[in-house]
Structure 1
Amino acid sequence: MAPYASDDTTTAGEEPSAGRRRAARYVVPVTVMGVAAATIGLVPALADSGDPDLPKITAAQLIEKIAKSDVEQLSGTVKITTDLGLPDLGGLESSLASGAMEQGEGGSSADPSARLTELASGTHTLRVAADGPDRQKVSILEDAAEYSLIHDGKDVWGYDSKANEVYHGTVDEAAGNREHQPPATPEDFAEEALKSVDDTTSVTVDGTAQVAGRDAYKLVVKPRQSGSTVGAISIAVDHETGMPLKFTLTPSSGGSAVVDVGFTKVDFGRPAASTFDFTPPKGAKVTEDGELDHGREHPGKPEPERTPKSEEDLAKGLDGLKVLGEGWNSIATFDTGGEGLPTGEAGGDLGGFLGSLGDRVKGDFGTGTVFSTRLVNALITEDGTAYVGAVTKDALVKAANEGK
């Protein structure tokens, strides 16, 4: 990452199961936007305990300090709150998830690819621990239960204590599945955010704070461009280690932060080796990664009938993904592989439901529907073209018009 010159600088269906599958396709724009937004964003501050008196530092020096941070051992507690402003689906999401579990062969409530999406909404408390690149553990604490994901050498374990179910895979099996490596700490979110720093960005140091009992500098990242839904990102950086302790993303529309992630307790000592030990409890159902669907067809299972908007078609469309604009106003566009969503009277009951979740828009491109969160918005046109970005509705309509 290039250095900064100052404190404000920039750098370079039918059967019930079939119906659920079909409905799931149309809920994807809403659900996926939420997960994507969680990968981008961060937090309103946890309560600070005064402003410590630390040596002056420039934005360039603080960025460099983050880049040089080599913390590999830690344990602590992280609180994460996500407020994307997603519409209330009245339990539809839970119903779809249950339906997917019923359809899957060898499905498991301990499967990380399903469980970790919970972090995309609401407030959660996590216990985290790390001992180098080969040992990490993240536990989502629940009422009288918890879900843990443990990486110990070659093994990856997931354990749902409430259901007494276990997932087991290996690093090789999990390597291509990013859900096994979720952003769980302020450092993870900060890395993603700092990738967006370029000449469309303002970066400053905005004083100091105390987080989890540690003195920290506050780095503030803001878009210079208009049209972005991002207001500002604030990263509290540990004075001693250079590791981000808290990350806050607030939207340009104002109000509470979109996501709040920060340590409430942290210890940079080496965790006990037993922290990463795991043996399936007696009576637990153990499911191997190879037994799970993960969106793949089961060997020997008849190929299902494909609709025009099948998963294969969608994948082909994503292969042709293009990015319009630059910096914070970047918009991803791709062909969803079929006609637009069935909104309005022509779509029947489902169309009316989907229409209530989005805003109908018109332009030179024709008509479409914009699905919005407080951070990420998506426009899907009548011909099935999607425009997605952390930009306003007007910016999406403009991009679609220019695309014609």
Structure 2
Amino acid sequence: MAETRKASRYVVPFAVAGVAAATIGLVPALAASGDPDLPEITAQQLIEKIAASDTQTLSGTFKVTTDLGLPSVAGLADSFAGGSSSGGSSSVDPQERLTQLVSGSHTLRVAADGPEKQKLTIVDGSDEYSLIHNGDDVWAYDSKSNEVFHEKGDASDRPAGEKEEVPGTPKELADEVLKAAGDTTSVTVGGTAKVAGRDAYQLVIKPKQSGSTVESIKIAVDAKTGTPLKFTLASVEGGKPVLDAGFTKVDFAKPAASTFDFEAPKGAKVTEGSEGLDGPTHGKSPEDLEKELEKEFGGLDGLFGGMAPGAGAEGMNVIGEGWTSIAKIDTGAPAPKTGEAPKEVQGFLDALGDKVSGKFGSGTVFKTKLVNALMTDDGKVYVGAVTKQALVDAANAGQ
């Protein structure tokens, strides 16, 4: 148990990367050129155009490029697994494969025909990974390992939070961003663009507050259909965007029905339901997860070193509002000391973190281009899409 609690103190820095990945999602979009001459439109009218968009059918190719400013994580998995790969996730596990999109550049193909038929394929050279939803069937196929995952059942009958879905579309992401627009946000129309050969308006969203890591969010909106075609998230650090993703080709015609057909290739390993997928939560009920946590880590308290509310922690408080909101968590566990972590882990932490001090004492800021976290030496954590100075100021204020 002592070793488990020691290891749990490394969870927070790695959670920073996870939070950053969660804010990105899976978004199609692309590189564009040219400025088409379109009728003038206000930001409100463009938002309404997006909201009124009801694109049910499309197919296309898009490129997703993400740059969180993270150091290499090579070797970390073996460090946590004690050098063994036996506990790794299945190569066909959607959760594992889709999280790989949070770094580097990836080419994807997408097709949709209403809410019951969607297909997404990640192309990696001659290898492909596909997620297919066709009525009651959900398939995942990895051509490299020749593995197949299949789940059958009416998605509408599943409890909320357990539905298998192809990852979010640009429209869904745009909707979420626009919901958050308020007094702390500037929303304007930033001219026009050409995306995948289509005329588009540029919706520009910026924080009014200082201290946010977000410089701007730009959404290219198809002038005819109102469908978001491109999504770019820029950091105040400059350089490459945190996310630059967009269609290189798009067609709003109905895809052929055969696009969504799937039959397991000869000799493929087929996993039905949640069997064989080693992801930590896939197919497990809350009761099952609680039992596993109790067995492996002594419950949530053991896993997170007292971070979880109701498990000996003070819980989480939110400081500020809008783009500069900061979550404060009292873990109740001192930060790991130099030399306690495995060599590969310590190297990653050193590359990810900056030592800081102030009225609060001392600690380390674990940074990405989007989400930063300050972990004080006495176990308090301040995390948000804010600058390093904003975290230090919050800690100094003792809020």
Give TM class, smaller chain. Answer: 0.7 to 0.9
Cα deviation digits, residues 271-313 of structure 1 (max 9, x gap): 1111111222222112234323432568998922538641595
Name the CA distance, whole Å, in 2 between partners of 1:294 and 1:377.
26
1:97, CA displacement in angstroms?
8.4
Residue in 2 that maps onto 1:46: 31
Residue 343 of structure 1 contacts residue 352 of structure 1 at CA under 8 Å; is this kept in 2? Answer: no
Name the CA distance, whole Å, in 2 between partners of 1:378 and 1:228.
13
- Secondary structure in structure 2 of the residue aligned to 1:79: strand
Residue 37 of structure 1 contacts residue 376 of structure 1 at CA under 8 Å; is this kept in 2? Answer: no
Residue 119 of structure 2 contacts residue 166 of structure 2 at CA under 8 Å; is this kept in 1? Answer: no
Farther off after superposition, 185-194 or 273-282: 185-194
Task: Select which of 329, 333, 349 maps to 1:334.
Answer: 329
Cα deviation digits, residues 206-256 of structure 1 (max 9, x gap): 111111111111111111111011111111110110011111111112222
Residue in 2 that maps onto 1:147: 129
What is the one-letter code of the residue matched to 1:354?
A: L
Question: In structure 2, do the counterparts of structure 1 residues 369 and 203 end up closer, same or farther at CA, with 3 Å as the change threshold?
Answer: same
Name the CA distance, whole Å, in 1 between partners of 2:361 and 2:27.
32
Task: Select which of 169, 175, 182 maps to 2:167.
Answer: 182
Name the CA distance, whole Å, in 1 between partners of 2:374 and 2:84.
26
Q: How does 1:202-217 map to 2 (within 5 A)?
A: 202-217=186-201
Q: How does 1:4-403 map to 2 (within 5 A)?
A: 25=11, 28-39=14-25, 46-48=31-33, 50-93=34-77, 102-103=86-87, 107-169=89-151, 170=153, 171=155, 176=161, 181-183=166-168, 185-291=169-275, 292-295=277-280, 303-306=295-298, 309-310=302-303, 313-316=306-309, 320-336=315-331, 338-344=332-338, 349=343, 354-403=349-398
Name the CA distance, whole Å, in 1 between partners of 2:273 and 2:348.
36
- Secondary structure in structure 1 of the residue aligned to 2:106: strand
The two structures have a TM-score, normalised by structure 2, of: 0.84
What is the one-letter code of the residue matched to 1:276?
A: F
What is the one-letter code of the residue matched to 2:375?
A: I
Question: In structure 2, do the counterparts of structure 1 residues 329 and 272 end up closer, same or farther at CA, with 3 Å as the change threshold?
Answer: same
- Secondary structure in structure 2 of the residue aligned to 1:103: coil
What is the one-letter code of the residue matched to 2:338?
A: G
Name the CA distance, whole Å, in 1 between partners of 2:47 and 2:127.
39
Name the CA distance, whole Å, in 1 between partners of 2:92 and 2:81.
13
Question: In structure 2, do the counterparts of structure 1 residues 255 and 352 end up closer, same or farther at CA, with 3 Å as the change threshold?
Answer: closer
Name the CA distance, whole Å, in 2 between partners of 1:93 and 1:24.
13
Farther off after superposition, 223-232 or 346-355: 346-355
1:397, CA displacement in angstroms?
1.5
Cα deviation digits, residues 87-114 of structure 1 (max 9, x gap): 123442577689786226xx52111111
Cα deviation digits, residues 61-117 of structure 1 (max 9, x gap): 00100011000111111111001110123442577689786226xx52111111100
Question: In structure 2, do the counterparts of structure 1 residues 295 and 274 end up closer, same or farther at CA, with 3 Å as the change threshold?
Answer: same
- Secondary structure in structure 2 of the residue aligned to 1:342: coil
Structure 2, unpaired ranges of 5+: 282-287
1:166, CA displacement in angstroms?
1.2
Question: In structure 2, do the counterparts of structure 1 residues 354 and 204 end up closer, same or farther at CA, with 3 Å as the change threshold?
Answer: same
The two structures have a TM-score, normalised by structure 1, of: 0.83
- Secondary structure in structure 2 of the residue aligned to 1:70: coil
1:403, CA displacement in angstroms?
3.7
Name the CA distance, whole Å, in 2 between partners of 1:157 and 1:174.
20
- Secondary structure in structure 1 of the residue aligned to 2:49: helix
Name the CA distance, whole Å, in 1 between partners of 2:260 and 2:83.
33
1:189, CA displacement in angstroms?
3.1
Name the CA distance, whole Å, in 1 between partners of 2:145 and 2:249.
28
Name the CA distance, whole Å, in 1 between partners of 2:82 and 2:199.
45
Residue in 1 that maps onto 2:285: none
Name the CA distance, whole Å, in 2 between partners of 1:290 and 1:180.
15
What is the one-letter code of the residue matched to 1:176?
A: G
Farther off after superposition, 341-350 or 242-251: 341-350
Residue 108 of structure 1 contacts residue 166 of structure 1 at CA under 8 Å; is this kept in 2? Answer: no
Residue 167 of structure 1 contacts residue 287 of structure 1 at CA under 8 Å; is this kept in 2? Answer: yes
- Secondary structure in structure 1 of the residue aligned to 2:396: helix
- Secondary structure in structure 2 of the residue aligned to 1:310: helix
- Secondary structure in structure 2 of the residue aligned to 1:102: coil
Root mean square deviation of aligned Cα: 3.5
Name the CA distance, whole Å, in 2 between partners of 1:154 and 1:390.
39
- Secondary structure in structure 2 of the residue aligned to 1:295: coil
Question: In structure 2, do the counterparts of structure 1 residues 84 and 394 end up closer, same or farther at CA, with 3 Å as the change threshold?
Answer: same
1:154, CA displacement in angstroms?
2.4
% of aligned pairs identical? 55
Name the CA distance, whole Å, in 1 between partners of 2:108 and 2:132.
13
Question: In structure 2, do the counterparts of structure 1 residues 353 and 233 end up closer, same or farther at CA, with 3 Å as the change threshold?
Answer: closer
Cα deviation digits, residues 142-161 of structure 1 (max 9, x gap): 11111011112222211111
1:182, CA displacement in angstroms?
2.7
- Secondary structure in structure 2 of the residue aligned to 1:108: coil
Structure 1, unpaired ranges of 5+: 1-12
